[in-house]
Amino acid sequence: MQLYNLKHPSQVVSFTEAVKLGLGKDRGLFFPTAIPVLEDMDTLLALPFVERSQKVIGAWLASELGQDTVDALVEKAFNFDVPLVKADDNRYSLELFHGPTLAFKDFGARFMAQCLNELAKDETINILTATSGDTGAAVADAFFGLDAINVVVLYPKGKISVLQEKMFTTLGQNIHTVAVDSDFDACQDLVKQSFEDSEIRDGLHLNSANSINISRLLAQICYYFEAVAQFKQQHETLPVIAVPSGNFGNLTAGLFAKAMGLPVSYFVAATNSNDTVPRYLLDGQWAPNTTVATMSNAMDVAEPSNWPRVEAIVEKMGWSLSDIKGVALSESQTSAALLALYEAGYLSEPHGAIAADALNQVMGEGEKGIFLGTAHPAKFNEVVEAELNIDLPLPQALADVESKSILSTELPVSFKVLKTHLFNILK
Ligand SMILES: *Cc1c(COP(=O)(O)O)cnc(C)c1O
């Protein structure tokens, strides 16, 4: 697989290089030089999830890594279920939260960990990543205990739930966590600055595990095929798919799936009041506001870093941006959406509920849709219990961390302070 830098098209790298580098020159995103198209979709969709995923990822990577290696990576990474659950007459939830840290980030993080473990050979790798919540847990869990890999996770102090925080800050060993006194965009910016700093880059062999890493996106393509495979067993029509969006990695993966030939009617980009993309889709003006904190905090992103890839796919495929529908929900609309789903018999959480409601807003007569259930309701238990007036039992994965102490270091938003800290803990 060959990828080029969207900012400097003359920088062309292999998948192996792109996984290790994360970002290209001048923070440019890597983008594939060609998108493979899969033949015989019906046969492919009839396969079991893991076997089909081996073919989907093989289409990108077999020529570089060999199909046997791809098969092994996929089998180790994808060891949990992906059910499509009916929410009401017109809407289904693709439940992506049955992995070890109860959010869809497990797919990308586990596959990336397997890839790096395979590709790094004898080098030591330091991963620096920013999280608005779930990435931290997924990355920490996926890499925890791997000898040659250190992980540093930056997150906005006080802006994620305590349980969420405990899922990745209590592990220790090769997992280092930093609570930054600001918001997610500031954390993401510190990560980007670190990658631009030649002393850090060369001295620490930094790698990013953000959704900007191409390995994570390839993994996420696979569950869109699973969604359509299950949907097709019951419906003749093509599904509309609504994606709860923050950094837009998830939507990017969905568009790659469609570009590979997956039959999807169209996609809906659903956000909370951090609505840069829905506004852009309406008026063509890219005008990010300051990030605001919402109850769907994993989507509190005003400057989504994967957006240039979305535009690149649309351009490459000759599609139009107007084929993507944008919907933004306020906090009160999110509450109402969560309650409406619950009353229809489906327990969700704010992120999934936003996408579910977005389907209702855009779907026409006769259309049916799938929304991505990106997190387990119990992961957002405080909000869900308060909004729905119910008690939620804690799943085991969360109960296990509840009594542990947080091991994070607190730092101000200062690149200089972070740099010193990185050299202290990683050298
Ligand atoms: C990360 C996350 C999102 C946003 O996904 P992006 O790929 O960043 O757009 C949505 N919901 C949950 C629960 C998440 O953890």
Taking the centre of ligand 1 as the mean of its atom positions, its distance from the CA of residue 356, in whole angstroms, is 14
Taking the centre of ligand 1 as the mean of its atom positions, its distance from the CA of residue 251, in whole angstroms, is 10
State if residue 103 touches ligand 1 by the CB under 6 angstroms criterion.
yes
State if residue 182 touches ligand 1 by the CB under 6 angstroms criterion.
no
State if residue 368 touches ligand 1 by the CB under 6 angstroms criterion.
no
Tell me the best of 214, 245, 334, 348 to mutate to test the pocket of ligand 1, counting ligand atoms within 8 Å of each CB and taking the most.
Answer: 245
State if residue 351 touches ligand 1 by the CB under 6 angstroms criterion.
yes
State if residue 328 touches ligand 1 by the CB under 6 angstroms criterion.
no
**What secondary structure, in 3-state letters, does the chain show?**
CEEEECCCCCCEEEHHHHHHHCCCHHHCCEEECCCCCCCCHHHHHHCCHHHHHHHHHHHHHHHHHCHHHHHHHHHHHCCCCCCEEECCCCEEEEECCCCCCCECHHHHHHHHHHHHHHHHCCCCEEEEEECCCHHHHHHHHHHCCCCCEEEEEEEECCCCCHHHHHHHHCCCCCEEEEEECCCHHHHHHHHHHHHHCHHHHHHHCEECCCCCCHHHHHHHHHHHHHHHHHHHCCCCCCCEEEEECCCCHHHHHHHHHHHCCCCCCCEEEEECCCCHHHHHHHHCCCCCCCCCCCCCHHHCCCCCCCHHHHHHHHHHHCCCHHHCEEEECCHHHHHHHHHHHHHCCCCCCHHHHHHHHHHHHHCCCCCCEEEEECECHHHHHHHHHHHHCCCCCCCHHHHHHHCCCCCCEEECCCHHHHHHHHHHHHC
State if residue 105 touches ligand 1 by the CB under 6 angstroms criterion.
yes
State if residue 30 touches ligand 1 by the CB under 6 angstroms criterion.
no
State if residue 313 touches ligand 1 by the CB under 6 angstroms criterion.
no
Tell me the best of 165, 218, 224, 247 to mutate to test the pocket of ligand 1, counting ligand atoms within 8 Å of each CB and taking the most.
Answer: 247
Q: What is the pTM of this model?
A: 0.91
Taking the centre of ligand 1 as the mean of its atom positions, its distance from the CA of residue 30, in whole angstroms, is 20
State if residue 216 touches ligand 1 by the CB under 6 angstroms criterion.
no
Would you write out the chain's pLDDT as a tens digit for each of its 427 residues?
Answer: 999 999 999 999 999 999 988 889 988 999 999 999 999 999 999 999 999 999 999 999 999 999 999 999 999 999 999 999 999 999 999 999 999 999 999 999 999 999 998 888 778 889 998 887 677 888 899 999 887 899 999 999 998 888 889 989 999 999 999 999 999 889 989 998 998 899 998 899 888 776 689 999 999 999 999 999 999 999 999 999 999 999 999 999 999 999 999 999 999 999 999 999 999 999 999 999 999 999 999 899 999 999 999 999 999 999 999 999 999 999 999 999 999 999 999 999 999 999 999 999 999 999 999 999 999 999 888 899 999 999 999 888 788 888 999 999 999 999 999 999 999 999 7
